Amino acid sequence: MTLLAIFGMALATYATRAGGFYLMRGVRVEGRLKTALDALPPAILMAVIAPTILATGIAETLAAAITVGAVLLRMPLVVTILTGVVSVVLLRMVV
Amino acid sequence: MSEAWREFREGAVDIAPILVAGVPIGLLWGTLAAGKGLSPLEAGLTSATVFAGSAQFVAIELWREPVPWVLLTFTVFIVNIRHILMGASLSRHIGHIGRRWHPLMMFLLVDEGWAFAERRALSQLLTASYYLGLTLPLVGVWTTASTIGAMAGRSLGDPAAYGFDFAFSAMFIGILAGFWKGPRTGAVLAASAVSAALAKLYVPGAWYIVIGGLAGVAIAALLHRDENTA
């Protein structure tokens, strides 16, 4: 049953990965459609983390704001991630 | 050094910070999997073949005996539906890459690698070598960390105590910075964040990712002005 579940999950995931590639093949992308598709990467990334940073707790929301601060200071990605992780640990102690 | 190897190395260098952040996240998933009765081999096999962090976390949350494989398969499909949108977007940049590479490139399509590939495509031609440099280290590190996590099991303690559970969010915030193009990006992000958070609270299951993504895209389309067409 475990192997069946792993196989099912792998197949379902590959279907989503291959689906989009073939769906849009040969479609000319320009104008409004191009603007929409260009907005997709940031929109998806934001949607994945939004529940964590907006609807989990004050510590997570504040830590996210501090992480944005590190981004605005143009810190390297590793420093940005560390800033977020350290902030959330400290904030969870006090709030 | 050949051109392909140089491109591969550039991809690997770009993804290095993500690999560092990915280790604790993979360890965390492995310990959770072990807690649900998966062997290290099964945990590693899952990470190598499913290779989708958020879906794996949702799946392990639902894991129980007897293993509900239909529910798991369906849920993972829903969480990963965003790949269809991601693949559609990426397909615009790989037309010049030989078709024999496409099945492998699809298999390796994952949030972090895809985000860097899209960013690369903003400024230069996306090559298969660069893409593999991004994604092959990711699948290797993810699988290894998951397997070790499952071997270590509970002895690692609660990773949330070290803030590792937040590494995923901090990583995405850092990646998002590369997509900032002005106030319109802000509008897209706000629409996506608010709809995803609301959907997470009020819509059962994992639809919030797709709902947030589509809300952001809808705002971008609404704000579109023809003079901006490149």
Rounded Cα gap, residues B209 and B80, in angstroms: 9
Judge contact between A21 and B131, C-beta under 8 A.
no
What pLDDT is attached to residue B178? Answer: 82
Point out the residue among B67, B188, B216 whose CB comes nearest to the CB of A1.
B67
Q: Is residue A58 very low, low, confident or very high in pLDDT (cuts 50, 70, 90)?
A: very high
Tokens at B39, concatenated:
């062997």
Tell me, what's the pLDDT at B161? 67
Angle among Cα B133, B137, B143 to the nearest 5 degrees reads 155
Q: What is the reported pTM?
A: 0.77
Residue B215 has pLDDT above 90, yes or no: yes
Query: Which of A11, A18, A40 comes nearest B106 by C-beta?
Result: A18
**A:B CB pairs within 8 Å:** 297
Q: What percentage of chain B reaches a pLDDT higher than 70?
A: 93
Chain B residues closer than 8 Å to A25 by CB: 91
Report CB contact under 8 Å: B87, A50. Answer: no
B57 — contact with chain A (CB < 8 Å)?
Answer: no
CB-based contact, A58 to chain B, within 8 Å? no
Range B136-155 average pLDDT: 93
Q: Compute the nearest-CA separation of A72 from chain B (Å).
A: 8
Between chains, do B52 and A13 touch, taking CB under 8 Å as contact?
yes
Please give the Cα distance from B150 to B201 (Å, whole number). Answer: 31
pLDDT digits (tens, 9 = 90+) for B105-126: 999 999 899 999 999 999 999 9
> How many angstroms away from the CA of B142 is the closest CA of chain A?
15
DSSP assignment string, B137-192: HHHHHHHHHHHHHHHHGGGG--GGGGTGGGHHHHHHHHHHGGG--SHHHHHHHHHH
Provide the percentage of residues in chain B whose pLDDT is more than 90: 56
pLDDT band at B154 (very low <50, low <70, confident <90, very high): low
Instruction: Name the B residues in 129-148 with CB < 8 Å from any A CB.
Output: none
Provide the pLDDT confidence category of residue B32 given band limits of 50, 70 and 90.
confident
At residue B229, the pLDDT reads 47
- Does residue A16 carry a pLDDT above 90? yes
Give the CA-trace dihedral at B55, B57, B58, B64, to 10 degrees.
120
